[in-house]
Amino acid sequence: MSTDTIDGLIEQVNAGAAGAQDRLFAAAYGELRKLARSRLRDGGRNTVLDTTALVHESYLRFLGSGRLRPDGRRAFFAYASQVMRSVIIDAVRERQAQRRGGDLARLTLDTHIADSTPAAEEEVLQVHEALEALAAAEPRLAKVVEMRYFGGYSETEIAEALQITDRTVRRDWDKARLLLGVLLGQ
């Protein structure tokens, strides 16, 4: 779909037009799938989700939240990126809880059970927690990381969305990587 169509549908959503959200998601579905594929490749390895499931679960969360009021195309896809990240984190946590017995009474038979948790799932949760800590201290840096790492946005797209220069995005990215490295103990 063209940018004009998506922007027009976003205006309809903001105006409260009946069925506008459904039409917006239908129009943006291809791009949402690309975004989901990027999330699963870069930020959500070894989850129980596939691209389609991630897009559909994100759509259900959009509908359930009632907070979809994007200012434009970039804001819509940035918000979609946040929702997808949240879906991935919840799926990883749920999978780990089920692996550990969920609500069942805990009985340790082997002291090496924790070693069997896939490293990628632990990494996803560690990155999520480090990003939350970064967001508390430096919200813009966290936004740059989220848009670049989880959203697959280019420096130019991030600069446009955040209304800063490309050079500022590069500096923020470098600073955020250093801070996240410290937070992750690397």
Q: How many domains does the chain have?
A: 2
Domain boundary among 99, 115, 131: 115
Same domain, 44 and 10: yes
pLDDT higher than threshold 80 for residue 101: no
Q: What is the pLDDT of residues 14-29, one digit of tens each?
A: 887 888 888 888 888 8
The burial of 13, by beta-carbon neighbours within 10 Å (0-12 exposed, 13-18 middle, 19 or more buried), is given as: buried
pLDDT higher than threshold 50 for residue 5: yes
For the whole model, what pTM was predicted? Answer: 0.59
Give the residue numbers spanning the domain of 172: 118-186
Same domain, 11 and 100: yes
Same domain, 19 and 87: yes
pLDDT for the residue 170 = 94
Same domain, 101 and 122: no
For residue 122, what is the domain's CATH number?
A: 1.10.10.10
pLDDT for the residue 42 = 56
Same domain, 98 and 30: yes
Domain boundary among 61, 87, 115: 115
pLDDT for the residue 174 = 92
pLDDT for the residue 125 = 77
Domain boundary among 85, 115, 145: 115
pLDDT higher than threshold 60 for residue 45: no
All residues at 6 or more sequence positions from 84 whose CB lies less than 8 Å from its CB, including other chains: 35, 36, 39, 54, 58, 150
Same domain, 106 and 145: no
- Residue 108 pLDDT level (bands cut at 50, 70, 90): very low
**Top-confidence residue, 105 or 9:** 9
What is the percent of the chain with per-residue pLDDT over 70, rounded to a whole number? 75
Same domain, 35 and 102: yes
